[in-house]
A and B are shown apart, each in its own frame.
Chain A
Amino acid sequence: MPALEDYKGRPPAWCPGCGNFPILSAFANAMADLGLGPHQFTIVSGIGQAGKFPHYLKCNTFNGLHGRTLPVATGIKLANHDMHVFAVAGDGDCYGEGGNHLLHAIRRNINVKLFVHDNQVYGLTKGQASPTSMEGMVTKNQPAGALSGQLNPMALAVALDCSFAARAFAGDGERLKELVKAAVGHKGFALIDILQPCVTFNKVNTYQWYKERVYHIEPGYNPEDRIEAFKRALEWGDRIPIGIIYKNYRTTLDEKIPAIRKQPLIKQAFDRSMVEATLKEFY
């Protein structure tokens, strides 16, 4: 069984008190609990503070481009579905630059787990509004306040029949760890939107702000009821639900592709002797 120190990576360059630290810790704990060694999973990350996440762990890593985590993760999963594949992105990365890829990853139901570090602001570029910034939030670049409406990732996920959609809060590491484990255990595309305070640039949505609002979804709630899930997904403001909002058991993309039904692509050696037979088809 891997121990926590097996996942130790480079020293983080995040601001002291950053909401990314508890996410890092919860993730490593979840991997240790699940017994997944560093070589048994791959994290695909984008650009932004969240994009640095896999460098601060020890694991297979593809730190690619801003917004492009899901296509890369999809390619990895289709080539090797024995590999656990996680995508880690920020709200700007995943909901802004990579919005189109999110729609289609949900639609494909690729068996990838996506963790969005949602701090409702752009951190790396120093404090501009993000797709999840609350309407009216004043920043240097949005002096009249964020003018666009706030994107609701949970409502979007339910609307698109996302296989697994959950919201977590970085300030509740234990619950986050359990949600990560639940997502890994779920067969299908999973989105966990992690509310994560940005201590430097988001002066609205602080630890205190979230703590006053988040509540754990009650045990009797049925996440397989899509209509109820949509209602729950719309809750924002005074009360913000934490937990599994929605799930279903759709067949995953890799299960549907005939060429990889028996074994992962990576395990299928190319048989050059077939070439001659194919050549005959051109006569």
Chain B
Amino acid sequence: MDYSIKIGGEAGQGIQTIGDTLARVFSRSGYHVFTNQDYESRIRGGHNFYQIRFSDRPVMAPCEGIDIIVALDNASIMLHEKELSKSGLVIYDSATLKRNYEKQKFFDIPFAGLAVEHGGNRIMENTVATGAVLGMLGMDLKIFNEIIGEVFAKKGEGIIRANISSALSGYDYAVEKCPLCSFSPAPFSRPKMLVAGNDALGFGAIAAGCKFYSAYPMTPSTGIMSYITGKAEEYGIVVEQAEDEISAINMVLGASFAGVRAMTGTSGGGFALMVEGLSLAAMAEVPVVIALGQRPGPATGFPTRTEQGELLFSLYAAHGEFPRVVLAPGTPEQAFFLANKAFDLAEKYQIPVIILTDQYLADAQWTFDGFDPDRLSCTDYRVRGDVFRSLGEYKRFAFTGSGVSPLGVPGDAKHVVVVDSDEHDEEGHIVEDAGTRIKMVDKRLFRKLPLIKKEIAPPLFYGSKDPEIVIVGWGSLYGAMKEAVDALSKERNTAMLHFSEIYPFPLTDDFDYVSLLKAAKAAVCIEQNATGQFARLMRAETGYEFKAQIHRYDGRPFTVESLTGEINACIGRL
């Protein structure tokens, strides 16, 4: 089984509530779930949709062929009717849409009418619709009723009862009057964890000991701030909304200097403002983690859509030469653990670490059996308290073999901690002399870099051990690529390389992925940008040049079918 449900309507109609609830019902029922959202840059009106795919086997990208469309407006029908699978159905409320669709696959359910009749208020029409979908699927209402109880716990028994009655009315209506439903859900298994990219990243930061987060709201990274804010009091975290992104990164540098793990998050335009601070972090060797949620540019671009257009920007942004790490998670699970790695590397080497995500990954929800907290690393690399007090002397930028100098916490000892954006000596004071300059560049850059390179994991390999075709990609393309490998493997030996740790570019010592690419009949680099930024980086770093590339830059994610089709077409042209 592999079903897709699409809920479409105007912004403000409650698409997300229906979508989130259904996704939660499916994940608690033990299904594998993938959801993604498509929305416009507006608060009311327009056309948005929420797509849920669920299956008894792992799903990790949207697919084509929708089984149920929940149409909250006429545009949902006009735009998405053609996406229906052979047995697909549209459910809608003719009273709300003020139109009747007489075709066979259309199913008119009085969402509003049933809500008034059974819940006492039209506001529960989305509860009716959710109940109806579950009725069509032949699932029971037990989990939905539990969720209603949790969501409305603060609103009291009356509201909970009204919603449960509304859900049942939609459910019964669908069971009785939907002759076309031919779904066969799998039997119940263990509940799964359901998590979105932004939440996983925010939680990953918290689980890495992040104590300070400052940002200016910007889609698609705002969700990270919202998640951390929700946990701030419980975990003892300060979240400060800055007046601009320049302030955000400088506040984070202040907090990090003072001795706590600190992070900021933004999108391309905000990152552009942070670039000056990024360079400061490098010079002052203050650890910082920056989440960069990409969206299509230039300038304001497509504010609510997806792209991988800032890989090279994240690599080359900022004046001066210094080491940095760029990570690009492909799944919420990778986002969680790479956030941990980002904080670890930032503090261990006193460098900026950038986590590249995009709107697609930020908003997409995936299911997992769980994250293993024992995989988290939480080493405190700072020199604090008694250890700091016991030092005979202290120089913030002392020359060491590794290039990493002791990161003292100011105020913990009588030693003063001095950092400077000017070139400085070991104590942190301004210098002008050439000798110290050379030694400091060697320390900051050349001594640290080989050590940082060793921390970077090779790309993830999946598929045939003797591949004819190798597809290559990075970041949020992971899921669609993996499903494409499965689909293409029916025809020929296919494999994929997925890069989630991008810079410094992974060494080939442990896994010679370049030879693998050279040995394949065809290697295709897939990117959600117009110019093939990763392919260029690969060429610069390894000398390997892709002959085949797929670039998508319409702001929309790949479906499994569209990616598979493009790969086939691309191979056909070779």
Contacts and interface: CB of A to CB of B under 8 A. Distances in A.
A75 B250 contact: yes
Interface string A150-193: 00000000000000000000000000000000000000000000
B421 A265 contact: no
Contact of A79 (B212, B232, B242, B419): B212
Interface in B451-470: none
Contacts of B378: 270, 272
Contacts of A71: 242, 246-248, 250-251, 254
Nearest to A112: B254
Given A75-B255, A76-B254, A282-B193, A64 B238 contact: no
B233 interface: yes
Interface range on chain A: under 10, 10 to 19, 20 to 34, or 35 or more?
35 or more
A103 B411 contact: no
A42 interface: yes
A64 B280 CA distance: 7
A258 B233 contact: yes
Interface string B357-400: 00000000000001101001010000000000000000000000
B128 interface: no
A58 interface: yes
Interface stretch (A134-142, A208-216, A273-281): A273-281
B419 A61 contact: yes
Interface string A71-107: 1111111111011000000000000000011011000
Nearest to A73: B254
B250 A72 contact: yes
Interface in B210-236: 211-212, 214, 231-236
Interface stretch (A32-40, A195-203, A244-252): A32-40
B428 A61 contact: yes
Contact of B238 (A9, A78, A271, A279): A78
A55 B430 contact: yes
A37 to B, nearest CB: 7
A59 interface: yes
A9 B27 CA distance: 63
B211 A265 contact: yes
Interface centre among B214, B232, B242, B257 (most CB of A within 10 A): B257
A116 interface: no
Nearest to B384: A266
B317 interface: no
Nearest to A259: B236
B563 to A, nearest CB: 28
A68 B277 CA distance: 9
A39 B414 contact: yes
A257 interface: yes
B244 A100 contact: yes
B272 to A, nearest CB: 16
Interface string A226-270: 000000000000000000000000000000011110000110101
Nearest to B200: A282
B376 A65 contact: no
Given A64-B280, A283-B192, A75 B236 contact: no
Contacts of A103: 243
B250 A68 contact: yes
A278 B411 CA distance: 33
A96 to B, nearest CB: 14
A10 interface: yes
A263 B517 CA distance: 55
Q: Mostly helix, strand, loop or mixed at chain B's interface?
A: mixed
Contacts of A79: 211-212, 238, 254-256, 258-260, 262
A39 B421 contact: no
Contact of A63 (B192, B244, B420): B420
Contacts, number: 194
B192 A10 contact: no
A76 B255 contact: yes
B55 to A, nearest CB: 18
A52 interface: yes
B419 A62 contact: yes
A39 B430 contact: no
A30 interface: no
A279 B371 contact: yes
Nearest to B235: A274
B385 to A, nearest CB: 10
Interface in B395-421: 409-411, 413-421
Contacts of A26: none
A274 B194 CA distance: 19
B258 A266 contact: yes
Contacts of A278: 203, 206-207, 231
Contact of A259 (B203, B206, B233, B250): B233
Contacts of B195: 282
Interface in B254-281: 254-262, 276-277, 280
A194 interface: no
B209 A270 contact: yes
A283 B410 contact: no
B376 A272 contact: yes
A259 B238 contact: yes
Contact of A61 (B247, B254, B414, B416): B416
**10 nearest CB pairs, A to B:** A75-B254, A71-B250, A79-B258, A75-B251, A72-B254, A270-B209, A75-B255, A79-B255, A71-B247, A104-B243
28 contacts: A39-B414, A40-B411, A42-B258, A55-B418, A59-B416, A63-B420, A63-B421, A64-B253, A68-B276, A71-B246, A71-B248, A72-B250, A75-B257, A78-B212, A78-B254, A79-B255, A83-B411, A100-B243, A100-B247, A104-B242, A258-B233, A260-B238, A271-B235, A272-B209, A275-B207, A276-B373, A279-B373, A283-B193
Given A42-B258, A65-B276, A71-B248, 14 more contacts: A10-B429, A62-B284, A65-B421, A68-B277, A74-B247, A79-B259, A79-B260, A101-B246, A257-B238, A265-B238, A266-B260, A272-B209, A278-B207, A279-B193
